[in-house]
Structure 1
Amino acid sequence: MPKLNLKFFFIKFLLISNLSFRIVGKLIFQDNFDTLDANVWLHESLNEAHLDEFQLYTDTKENSYSEHGILHIKPTLVVNEESDKFHPIRSARLSTKNSFSFTYGIIEFRARIPSGDWLFPALWLMPTNSQYGPWPTSGEIDVMESRGNRNLTDTQGNFVGVQQVSSTLHWGPRTDLDGWKLSHFSNNDNSCFSNAFHTYKTIWTPESISFHVDEEQIGITVPPEGGYWEMGDFNKDDLPNPWSNGTKSAPFDQSFYLIINLAVGGTHFFSDADNNEGGKPWKNTSPNAGLDFWKGRDQWLGTWNLATDDSHFLIDYVRVWDLE
């Protein structure tokens, strides 16, 4: 009987069971946040807010700063005549749009998510040139998103606040045909991701994109031979394939840059069907959602613990390796 080559079968098992397996190449980006380097991180301005969210982004040190090797993104209140308008909160959104982008690689960051009702922290990637068209046609890679609520549950009673982090790919030929549900993954930990630092990793290759929390894979997307067009079954919609000139991994075969931000509220991140201790001050269908949010601040303001850094999105480091 021939002798089994255990090494061969072990390597084959790794490749089959996790198509994102790659030997790590060289480190091509690293920030340990000893300082907040304006040459690396571009601050989004007040005029670049998402109008369906309840914050505006600033470049002030009050909303983003480095302290003892940790990046803080901190939400603050507007306590003047602007307080009754749609955007009563100030926060920060930082990107490497002008300094660093890459195609395929491994991104890892270590962070502690904030706690406080209706806070929405994220680290994600957007295409540098959007070569296939406007969102979501050129894709979006969400390495980590979460919600700051301590007692938020979905209709099945599952905690979907600080006990949960999620990772998602956005892709589709139109905004109403986003295939994100086919590439969305969540990880729950009842000890809460806001109580300690955790590592979040995305392994992005020409064959697959996988997501990891504390080195545990929580999901992987492997497009078929027909790519994301086939995966989304978009042929039935009688539309031209925007990725026909790309590779199998299109739109995720182009250069992307990094974004770190802390959003607040909004009409997309928090479902009206979920249950929150103290209720939800606004409806996503309301034309005055931001104003309703502000008027209902007695519900959420105390949960932010503003005398502490509980409501801060804390990032220890961000690192990117290429693939060997």
Structure 2
Amino acid sequence: MSHARQATASSTATETPARSLTPEDDVIQPALRPGANPFATPYGSSSASRNASSTALHLMDQPRYFHSRRVKKGSIERPWMDKKDPKEKWVTIIPLIGIFAGLALSGVLIWDGLRSVVNHNYCQVLNEDFSNGLNSKIWTKEVEVGGYGNGQFEMTTNTDENAFVQDGMLYIKPTLQDASLIEKNNVINLLGNGCTSTIASDCIAGTNLTNGTIVNPVKSARLNTKLGATIKFGRVEVTAQLPAGDWLWPAIWMLPRDNKYGDWPRSGEIDIMESRGNNWTYGQGGNNIVSSTLHWGPNAANDAWWRNNVKRKALHTTYAAGFHTFGLEWSEKYIFTYIDTRLLQVMYTHFNEPFFKYGQFPLSDSNGTRLEDPWSYTGRDSTPFDQDFYLILNVAVGSTNGWFKDGASGKPWLDGSATAPRDFWDARNQWYPTWQKGGEMRIKSVKMWQQQGYNGC
């Protein structure tokens, strides 16, 4: 058997001379022959007993290993380079269009914002930093118990308990009413005793233990510049820190000096800033949110404040955590409010149509009386906001007009209840502790400017 294999191998070696392999050959290792020793060395033995034919057989049995070869540049065909997909270019074009469109839109928005901020020339009317105390020629402390038409719970006083200057700042601080005025029948009569309202009901309040009515359960302050500083078109900036405390209602706002077009709201109202002292968890927005709006209408039942009421939320903080500048810019063409910078606008209203049309009032009121436009005779789109207004700073407490929503966030009274002030007073152990730290509005400065061309400026 072995001789036959040797003869065959010798014959094969004679017929087909073996040649050495080069790296250029495509070499594939052959499978082992049946019976071959897989552990045998791939290289031949140096024994002298091996003859030439066994040497040739060994070369044929030697494993043939794969040898890589370097691919020369351009030697591989790339048919996809010869024929391009015409849609392929849109993979680049579409994102570029999106980028340019975004840049263009951003530019338009910036331009529109800058366009709306006109640089008027002004005369300064008031620059109050309270370094010399409270100037009585400028500021009036209002004294009344009427709740200013909103059913507020505070009576406003002219004492230093509720409005005072300390460390170069004006403090407006609400405090509890004297318990003795609530625990037994009493009357507060401010007529002829400093009441600043001309309405009798704003000057008289009483406690009646039988029917559950009480005098105002809280004292606070409201100050105005009616005597000392008014403007017709111009700017206002008040730098203040808002109060923290449940059911507090701080406000920076303006009313007309002369009610040229009639009683409220016919002559208008400008709310630069209103907020609530409740914390950020309060459902309607606490001291982390402020709002601005205008009030106007042919009568009290038709007030169009909802047409331009805008809220602004503080970013990662509250307006009670530090000082902010609450501003107003007002011209014959527009009016807007802002916070800290004129570019951070809150409410913006163009005077580009009559306010009676802008208010979207019904044809008649609830009793069928036709509503007439009280401002049309002026021919100005800015009416009723084209007269002198004065500034008001105050911290109100509670109300029965809906500013605090019934049945929400633990509100301890109902607006429609005849005993709402009493219910509020009875819950004082809940809300009064929240006033103890930061329950006052602090005002660093108040500035007012008159636009040139008006009021002798």
TM-score between both structures, scaled by the size of structure 2 = 0.63
Q: Amino acid of the residue matched to residue 219 of structure 1?
A: M
Q: Which residue of 1 aligns with 2:27?
A: none
Distance in 1 separating the partners of 2:424 and 2:115: 43
Q: Which residue of 2 aligns with 1:94?
A: 223
Find the residue that maps to 2:421 and give its secondary structure.
helix
Find the residue that maps to 1:177 and give its secondary structure.
coil
Q: Which residue of 2 aligns with 1:206?
A: 332
Distance in 2 separating the partners of 1:271 and 1:199: 28
- Cα–Cα, structure 1 residues 39 and 121, in superposed 2: closer, same or farther, change >3 Å? same
Give the CA deviation at 1:182. Answer: 0.8
Q: Amino acid of the residue matched to residue 445 of structure 2?
A: Y
Q: Which residue of 2 aligns with 1:176?
A: 301
Task: Check conservation: 1:75, 1:90, Cα contact below 8 A.
Answer: yes
> Does 2:139 align with 1:41?
yes
Find the residue that maps to 1:319 and give its secondary structure.
strand
> Does 2:389 align with 1:256?
yes
Which one of 123, 131, 146 corresponds to residue 252 of structure 2? 123
For the pair shown, which has the larger CA radius of gyration, 1 or 2? 2
Task: Check conservation: 2:237, 2:326, Cα contact below 8 A.
Answer: yes
Which one of 283, 288, 291 corresponds to residue 166 of structure 1? 291
Which protein has the bigger helix share? 2
Find the residue that maps to 1:199 and give its secondary structure.
strand
Task: Check conservation: 2:280, 2:288, Cα contact below 8 A.
Answer: no
Distance in 2 separating the partners of 1:231 and 1:109: 29
Which one of 119, 127, 148 corresponds to residue 50 of structure 1? 148
Which one of 236, 244, 248 corresponds to residue 376 of structure 2? 244
Find runs of 4+ consecutive structure 1 residues off by over 6 angstroms.
none
- 1:174-206: CA deviation from partner (whole Å, max 9, x where unpaired): 111111011111101141100000111111111
Distance in 1 separating the partners of 2:121 and 2:223: 26
Q: Amino acid of the residue matched to residue 289 of structure 2?
A: Q
Task: Check conservation: 1:136, 1:170, Cα contact below 8 A.
Answer: yes
Find the residue that maps to 2:376 and give its secondary structure.
coil
Q: Which residue of 2 aligns with 1:108?
A: 237
TM-score between both structures, scaled by the size of structure 1 = 0.88
Which one of 377, 398, 405 corresponds to residue 271 of structure 1? 405
Task: Check conservation: 2:241, 2:442, Cα contact below 8 A.
Answer: yes
- Cα–Cα, structure 1 residues 175 and 134, in superposed 2: closer, same or farther, change >3 Å? same
Distance in 1 separating the partners of 2:244 and 2:152: 18
Task: Check conservation: 2:145, 2:216, Cα contact below 8 A.
Answer: no
Give the CA deviation at 1:123. Answer: 1.0
Give the CA deviation at 1:19. Answer: 3.6
Q: Amino acid of the residue matched to residue 392 of structure 2?
A: I
- 1:61-108: CA deviation from partner (whole Å, max 9, x where unpaired): 111111121100011112332235241111111111122211000111
Find the residue that maps to 2:432 and give its secondary structure.
helix
Q: Which residue of 2 aligns with 1:3?
A: none
- 1:210-252: CA deviation from partner (whole Å, max 9, x where unpaired): 1101211122011333x11111123633422100122210100
Task: Check conservation: 1:143, 1:200, Cα contact below 8 A.
Answer: yes
Find the residue that maps to 1:236 and give its secondary structure.
coil
Which one of 413, 419, 427 corresponds to residue 288 of structure 1? 419
Q: Which residue of 2 aligns with 1:73?
A: 172
Q: Which residue of 1 aligns with 2:430?
A: 299
Distance in 1 separating the partners of 2:127 and 2:405: 35
Range with greater deviation from structure 2 (40-49 or 296-305) = 40-49
What runs of 5+ residues in structure 1 fail to find an aligned partner? 1-9
> Does 2:443 align with 1:321?
no
Distance in 2 separating the partners of 1:124 and 1:76: 22
Task: Check conservation: 2:289, 2:312, Cα contact below 8 A.
Answer: yes
What runs of 5+ residues in structure 2 fail to find an aligned partner? 1-106, 184-213, 365-369, 453-457
Distance in 2 separating the partners of 1:75 and 1:288: 21
Q: Which residue of 2 aligns with 1:83?
A: 182
Q: Which residue of 2 aligns with 1:233?
A: 360
Give the CA deviation at 1:297. Answer: 1.1
> Does 2:317 align with 1:220?
no
Find the residue that maps to 2:413 and give its secondary structure.
coil
Find the residue that maps to 1:46 and give its secondary structure.
coil
RMSD: 2.2
Distance in 1 separating the partners of 2:406 and 2:275: 17
Give the CA deviation at 1:26. Answer: 2.5
Distance in 1 separating the partners of 2:145 and 2:287: 29
Distance in 2 separating the partners of 1:36 and 1:97: 15
Task: Check conservation: 1:44, 1:94, Cα contact below 8 A.
Answer: yes
Distance in 1 separating the partners of 2:359 and 2:147: 30
Which one of 136, 146, 167 corresponds to residue 275 of structure 2? 146
Distance in 2 separating the partners of 1:18 and 1:202: 17
Task: Check conservation: 1:20, 1:204, Cα contact below 8 A.
Answer: no
- Cα–Cα, structure 1 residues 118 and 235, in superposed 2: closer, same or farther, change >3 Å? closer
